[in-house]
Amino acid sequence: MEPITSDSAPLGGSSPSCANEQTSGGADPSTGPPSPWIWAWVVVAGLVAALMGWGAGELALVGFKPGFQMDDSLRQSLETATAETRRQMNEATTRSATVAYGVLAAALGLCLGVAGGMAGRSRSQTVSAVALATVLGGLAGAASTYALTELFHEIFRASSANYSKDMLTPLLLHGGMWLPAGFFGGLALGLASGGWRRAGQAVFGGCLGVVCGVVVFEILAALLFPTAKTTHPLASSALPRLFAHLSVALLVALLATWSIRHMQLTRAPRSQRS
């Protein structure tokens, strides 16, 4: 694999061959606008997606708030009552996190697909990319979050003291919950802006954005919100929960865009293969 040089147009620019086609009346749908515009569009897309995911999560926390209702058999002992209370709280957390991060993944697919479509100027590619990434991203984000939140409850129940001192497990759990957002957000951006030839680079950048977002969130949140339980699937207050969505969405948007502008690869000519 070798970097594409002058025979390929990066996002936000045009190659000589593209210029010839446009001069003769043709249009290249994968040729984007000047680079400052695509950066602005993906930043706005990331902000909107973050707010959508955070807002959905906040509504879910209210809607799934446990009522702590239990029958008389559960109230007979403090042990059974405490266990039932914990079960209801865990169930509410699982549902709320599933909604929040499922919507985040779907929203990133939607918003970055639209941003990529504005750069690529191909309506059919944009519609297909947005539909694919929104549906599959939402489903994958919800499924991974549900499974990993249940795993978190098992780990935390086994040893809450050890978990509070563990930095690696929260990184892995949050990374797994947010990975679909990076994958399908990058996929939507790549498909909408230039088809499958850019999708691979954008997916790589989106997943890299999740890795960076998780690291940034875990470190800064621990410093800025030390009592907000930021190592849990959902922090205990609204501001760090918003910070989590912003960390992921913005870094996914920026690194997916960077990757399709600077990491375009092509096969080496046969004459250069050994």
In angstroms, what is the C-alpha Rg of the chain? 22
8 Å CB contact between 218 and 230: yes
pLDDT value for 79? 55
Give the whole-angstrom CA distance, residue 156 versus residue 162: 8
Give the whole-angstrom CA distance, residue 110 versus residue 49: 8
Q: Which residues are CB-neighbours of 78 under 8 A, at least 6 positions away? A: none
- Residue 272 belongs to some domain of the structure: no
Residues 58-110: tens digit of each pLDDT: 999 999 887 666 555 555 555 555 666 788 888 999 999 999 999 999 999 99
Sign of the Cα torsion 136, 138, 144, 150 reads negative
Number of folded domains that form the chain: 1
8 Å CB contact between 107 and 100: no
Residue with tokens 């957002």: 181
- Residue 237 belongs to some domain of the structure: yes
- Residue 9 belongs to some domain of the structure: no
Give the whole-angstrom CA distance, residue 94 versus residue 104: 15
Q: How many CB atoms lie within 10 A of CB 36?
A: 9
- Residue 132 belongs to some domain of the structure: yes
pLDDT value for 14? 43
* Low pLDDT (below 70) residues in the chain: 1-36, 67-84, 120-122, 160-161, 164, 263-274
- Residue 15 belongs to some domain of the structure: no
Strand partners, 2: 266
Residue 126 sits in which domain range?
Answer: 32-263
8 Å CB contact between 89 and 70: no
- Residue 19 belongs to some domain of the structure: no
- Residue 10 belongs to some domain of the structure: no
- Residue 122 belongs to some domain of the structure: yes
Question: What backbone torsions phi and psi does residue 235 show, to the nearest 5 degrees?
Answer: -65, 165
Give the whole-angstrom CA distance, residue 132 versus residue 106: 10
pLDDT value for 29? 42
